Structure 1
Amino acid sequence: MVGMLPEDKGNFYDRLHDSVILPSSIVEFYPDATLVVDNGGRVVAWNKAMGEMTGVPAEDMLGKGNYEYSIPFYGKRMPILVDMVGLPREEVSSRYTNIIVHGDTLEALTIKAKVKGRDVVLWGTAARLYGLNGKPVGAIESIRDVTAQDMVERKLMESEEKYRTIITSTNDAIITVDTKGIITYVNPSGIKMMGRPYDDIIGRHFTYFVVDAYKDRAIQAFSQGMVGSPVPPLEIEMVDGDGRQVPIELSGGALHSGRVKVGAIVTFRDVSERWKAHERLERRVKERTEELALSEEKFRVLAETTSSAIFIYQKGRFRYVNPATCRITGYSEEELLTMNFWDWVHPDYQELVKRNGRARRHGQLSPPRYEIKFVTRGGEERWAELTPGLIEYNKRPAILVTAVDITDRKRTEEALKNSKENAEMYLDLMGHDINNMDQVALGYLEMAMKAVQEDDPVYAYISRSYAMLQESSRLIDNLRKVQQAVDRKLRLEAVDLGAILSEVAEEYSIVPGRDVTIEYRPVECQVMASRLLKDVFSNIVGNAVKHSTGPLKVSIGVRPCVHNGVRCCEVSVEDDGPGIPEGLKDAIFSRMKRGSTKAPGSGLGLYIVRSLVEGFNGRVWAEDRVPGKPGDGSRFVVQLPSV
């Protein structure tokens, strides 16, 4: 029996006395969820379908008022359709859509409900209940879940709209034809592609627009499609409104109305550019085939005539060898092609070659060229420089190698190494033993000069010999400095550049017999150099003094700079001496190269400067003190990396 409020049943029946009463069995077994409220908004009936829909049984809802019955639908207390019977449509439309009003009966749709945690679309029908005396005694509402139906309708509408949009906006031309091949529809892209007005297309047989040479193929494809056979994309030519033959690619399928086949839908697109590209590709393939044949001939001639060994090995076996390979290894072509590749590589280098080969096959980093030792057929050990590359040979990975016999070069390098070691030994001998002897000789000469009067002719001979020995000692010292700089044996450390420049400025501020002015404002700057840094600036300032006459002004400036992203200290040493001719500004840094003055010297001073500066990872150059005026003095610029 329908759920009724027991303690209020008599009162409710009293109000319904002599009125039209819904039999309780009818309400209970309504297929739709149904509730009844009295005039006070209290639930007096809550049928089984309502309990199943909301999950709330009748015993938990009967007698409840204050919109308790809205909570299972909206999660809060609020008027629902049963409370809105008789209200103006405007008030109902604030919460419901699709409103239908028939007197005191109200129908509407809501999409805002949430039942059992699920968003639902509900269709409600509510009506006023009257007694026989004509007075309202309550209201009834039946609710139906139409979520699935609503979703289907919406998807159908969206699908129709989507396909309508696609057909009208796509770049592909689309036509439909009936079972006889008569065109019944063409989209805007089809009108544009066919170059004809709409009325000139509709009602014509589709073959009217096909080039004669392709009509049979088009009819055959249409017939296959109409009997349900698959039809692959077809390329034919169409005649447009200007009489041009346009290459098109078309595809299609049968159209059905229910189970009845009513025609076909055909899409086609202009493939003129594809046909042109295909023609260009065919020409290019032909050209490339001819070029490849010519390239193969060139490679064959090159491989057969080059002095470098060229060979291909695959899975450890020789697959191809050129004549130079035979000449270098001493093996014949037949012998090499039956040999294991590793048989000619010296045992000490086999693992190196294998490791590089594996790395190259797996796309890993490997040296583009490297040196190995190999063994000739006669057992001679020789050297080769290999340049390998990964190729495909007979559709399988292989290694193409160019090998140059560098045995003579290696022997020359060994000889040069020995010569260098001998030269260093001689230089060490000069720098140590000979210099020691010079120092002893200088000591004896100093004693001899003290024993002889300066006006004695013998004194001049002794002092001259003393000066020559001093020059010899300086030359030996300079050679040792050059050796350290060239061989990169300088130990770099943080050096106080400002202190070094102060020492140089002080030493050259007083030059006997010369009026020399040194301008320098002390600065603080740490650079990476060695104790030989002082020689750099002593040589530069000393050269300015030595290669000038009369009064001389030397200005030393320091400023920070950046070179190639490295912070540096830049020192400029400029003088107002005779300057340096344009053609000598770079040459003066070369070994044994002197300037245009007649001043004595070994020609090593500026060569030592450049060698030391480059050993400090810096750079040095000469320029005009006044740009464009070489005769107005020179400027030497030294850049050194800062700490």
Structure 2
Amino acid sequence: MAMDQAVLAGNSKYRKYYPVILGLTLAIVIFLAVYVNVILGIEVVYTHLFYIPIILAGIFYHRKAVYVALALGVLHIFLSFAADGMMPYESFLRAIIFVATAYLVGTISARKDLLYDRLRASEDSLRRMRDTLELQVRERTRQLSSVNESLQNEIAERNRAEKSLMLARFSIDRAADFIAWIKSDGSLNYVNDALCRATGYTRDEMLVMKAWDIEPETLKEKWPEIWQSLKESGSCHAESTLRTRDGRLIPVAIMNNYLQFRGEEYNCAYIRDITKRKLAENALKKSRTILARAQKIAHVGNLAWDLKTDGMQWSDEVYRIFGYEPGALLPTKDMVLSSVFAEDHELVSRAFDAAVRENRLFDIDFRIVARDGSLRYVNCVADRLARDPAGNPAWIYGIIQDITKRKLAETELQDAKAQAELYLDLMSHDINNMNQIGIGYLELVLSRGDLSDETRALLNKPLEALESSSRLIRNVTSLQRAREGGFCAARMNVRGVIGDVLPRYAGVSGRDIRFEFNGCDCFVMANDLLFDVFSNIIGNAIKHSSGPLAININVERVLEDGKAYCLISVADNGPGIPDRIKGQLFVRFQRGATQATGRGLGLYLVKTLVDDYHGTVWAEDRVPGDHTQGAKFVIMLPAVE
């Protein structure tokens, strides 16, 4: 049916081309017939081609095709006459067949189109009926869908309600907290699993018990009064204890809720085990006690300052610092300012004002006059600012420490430091000047050529002692200046500094000292005390040896972990340093196991200065594994361009 509709639609669509198609076909077949039979004179019958336009005319125009057949029949008779000079009966017969064919095809085509029209009308009727039925079906389907959706919603709602009810029951049964429903007569109507596990009773055992059977603080004779109070308030919170089967008491927090359900009165009690909280509270109380004790020992207390009211909260120790018993008064900002020593009042006022106006925290030392009139030094640190929900400063938190003893100790330390500096000045100037005078006279005497060897040896002893004394004074002075930062770092050539040191030891009296100095220019960031580093190492090598001595000094630039260093080695062929002593050489007042004497500051000064230069120094054997072949000191300093 669909195909027929497509054909009909196609016929209707291409109807305007019928005359063109029929005309072209007539022209072609007539041309062929005339050309072959008349012009060429060939007696071949081409008139059977006339059936093509006859059939097309019958299909296109139904019985009107007879006119085309008559025209073609006449043409056929004419062509036969033109070719043979006569009109045979076969020509008339073929013309009649043309007409009969046109009539037959036209009739069949008309019948076909009539059937198509009827079919189209039937299809239209069926389509209207189908549309009507579809509309009715859709309407009925919509109604059924609405009913079905309503039923499904009801079923889903019931399922949700059942699921919620089951979930609620499951949640209550499996809840970590204890839950109990208690009737107005005190009997237990429901208990969950957690309560059963905690008390050690089964659910059946508990459902025949009363509230006072498991809560010893609830007295049976007081129950009516308790129930009436709950009924009036609707809910209440309380802390109590539950007694287990084995007699243990569990601390609990209970939230009681009065409910009515289907004419019955219930208390829905949510109960939480607070054992851990109680332990934590006890631990907190203990910690607070310990903290208070520690603050008392350390004379440190904490405070909170309310910026809106200027009121303060103090720990117990702050009260004691100000000379009061804990809790004896309500502290305020004005009360604190009134206790400040007059000379420090402006300092404290500025710090407090800056905290309020600029939200600036502070760390200040000042003096207060305690309640008993004693003067105390305190350190007050405001280290945290808290804001209210609107973002405005609300509280400042901090600590106060009684630093009276520390201040007195600092004063005593300053006095001791001043006294030590006086002694140091005395040593570095007066005593050292006297040493230099003695050294000068001894060297003058030793320069005489008429002295015996015994006399010369005796004179060398005090000369060495004076030189050691001068060296000690020089080391102490250098160490003091290094610790006080008396020198500024600058770019220095290590090779040049060592070159300045060597002349000092080139002519040691009575010794054959030979130096071998190799190396390149290598620059480091140091100060004038770099001279003392190499002077002490070379001086120690000479002092802790006897007889001829060879000292080999090498300077090279090396890379370690991608960084450039100046590596300086000072090796001698003296008595060497045992392994057990190497690790103690750079400790203050440690000396090698030699007969030479000293005060142990030389190598300590070396270590101190090298550390200041961010370098390292160590001692090793000149010949690895044999310390008797001499010692080797190695210094590594960061190199600069």
2:352 maps to which of 351, 354, 357: 354
1:414 alignment partner in structure 2: 411
Could you tell me whether the CA contact under 8 Å between 2:303 and 2:315 is conserved in 1?
no
Aligned residue number for residue 424 of structure 2: 427
Q: Cα gap change, 1:582/1:446 in structure 2, threshold over 3 Å: closer, same or farther?
A: closer
Post-superposition shift, 1:594? 0.9
Work out whether 1:306 is the aligned partner of 2:306: no
> Which residue matches 2:339?
344
Kindly provide the CA deviation profile for residues 580-619 of structure 1, in whole angstroms up to 9, marking residues without a partner as x: 3444334322333211122233422212212332344444
Cα distance between partner residues in 2 of 1:596 and 1:384? 51
Matched residue SS, 2:328: helix
Between the aligned partners of 1:506 and 1:427, the Cα distance in structure 2 is 28
Change (3 A) 1:576 1:330: same
* Per-residue deviation, 1:536: 1.0
Partner of 1:374: 368
The correspondence of residues 34-183 of structure 1 with structure 2, limited to 5 A, is 178-181=149-152
Instruction: Tell me what 2:320 maps to.
Output: 327
- Residue-by-residue CA offset, 1:252-309 (whole Å, 9 max, x unaligned): xxxxxxxxxxxxxxxxxxxxxxxxxxxxxx9898745752563145214532663224
**Alignment partner of 1:291 out of 258, 277, 280:** 280
2:563 & 2:372 partners in 1: Cα distance?
Answer: 55
Partners of 2:170 and 2:468 lie apart in 1 by 107
In 2, the alpha carbon distance for the partners of 1:465 and 1:542 equals: 18
Q: Which of 565, 572, 597 pairs up with 1:600? A: 597
* 2:62 aligned residue: none
Q: Distance in 1 between matches of 2:599 and 2:544?
A: 13
C-alpha displacement at 1:211, in angstroms?
5.9
* Superposed displacement of residue 132, structure 1: 11
Matches within 5 A, 1:20-39: none
Work out the CA distance in 2 between the residues paired with 1:533 and 1:512: 26
Q: SS state of the match for residue 288, structure 2?
A: helix
Equivalent residues in 2 for 1:449-528, closer than 5 Å: 453-455=450-452, 464-504=461-501, 518-528=515-525
Distance of 1:491 and 1:404 partners within structure 2: 37
What residue number does 2:79 align with? none
Following superposition, the deviation at residue 528 of structure 1 comes to 1.5
Unaligned 5+ runs, structure 2: 1-7, 22-146, 172-270
Count of residues paired in the alignment: 396
- 8 A contact 2:339–2:369 mirrored in 1: yes
Contact 1:304 1:322 in 2 (8 A): no
Q: 1:527 to 1:462 in 2, by over 3 A?
A: same
* Higher radius of gyration, 1 or 2: 2
Aligned counterparts of 1:562 and 1:554: Cα–Cα separation in 2: 23
Question: Could you state the TM-score of these two structures normalised by the residue count of structure 2?
Answer: 0.50
Q: 1:134 to 1:480 in 2, by over 3 A?
A: same
2: CA distance between counterparts of 1:209 and 1:215? Answer: 10
For 1:215 and 1:479, how far apart are their aligned partners in 2? 86
5+ residue gaps in structure 1?
1-100, 106-126, 136-175, 186-202, 218-281
CA contact (8 A) 1:508 1:518 kept: no
**Cα displacement (A) at 1:181:** 4.3
The separation in 2 between residues aligned to 1:440 and 1:515, in whole angstroms, is 26
Task: Flag the structure with higher helix content.
Answer: 2
Distance 1:394 1:289 in 2: 31
The residue matched to 2:423 in structure 1 has which SS?
helix
Structure-2 change in CA distance of 1:401 and 1:103 (3 Å) = same
Distance apart, 1:488 and its partner CA: 1.8
Contact 2:522-2:566 at 8 Å conserved across structures:
yes
What is the alpha-carbon distance in structure 1 between the residues aligned to residue 158 and residue 329 of structure 2?
78
Following superposition, the deviation at residue 631 of structure 1 comes to 5.2
Contact 1:312 1:398 in 2 (8 A): no
Q: Assess, with a 3 A threshold, how the Cα gap between structure 1 residues 467 and 615 changes in structure 2: closer, same or farther.
A: same
Give the 3 Å change call, closer, same or farther, for CA 319–572 of structure 1 in structure 2. Answer: same
Match of 1:436 in 2: 433
Distance in structure 2 (CA, Å) of the matches to 1:547 and 1:104:
132
Residue-by-residue CA offset, 1:164-221 (whole Å, 9 max, x unaligned): xxxxxxxxxxxx9842347999xxxxxxxxxxxxxxxxx996667666575999xxxx
C-alpha contact 2:542 2:549 (8 A) present in aligned 1 = no
Q: 1:632 to 1:299 in 2, by over 3 A?
A: farther
Aligned Cα root-mean-square deviation (Å): 4.8
Conservation of the 8 A alpha-carbon contact between 1:349 and 1:373: no
- 1:309–1:322 contact (8 Å) kept in structure 2: no
Distance 1:386 1:587, change over 3 A: farther
Q: Secondary structure at the match of 1:637?
A: strand
What is the rounded CA distance, in whole Å, between the counterparts of 1:450 and 1:518 in structure 2?
A: 24
Q: Hey, what does 1:530 align to over in structure 2?
A: 527
CA apart distance, 1:379? 4.8
CA distance in structure 2 between the aligned counterparts of 1:371 and 1:451, rounded to whole angstroms: 67
Q: Which residue of 2 aligns with 1:556?
A: 554
TM-score (norm 1): 0.50
- Mapped to 2, the partners of 1:216 and 1:535 lie a distance apart of 86
Q: Measure how far apart 1:509 and its partner are.
A: 7.3
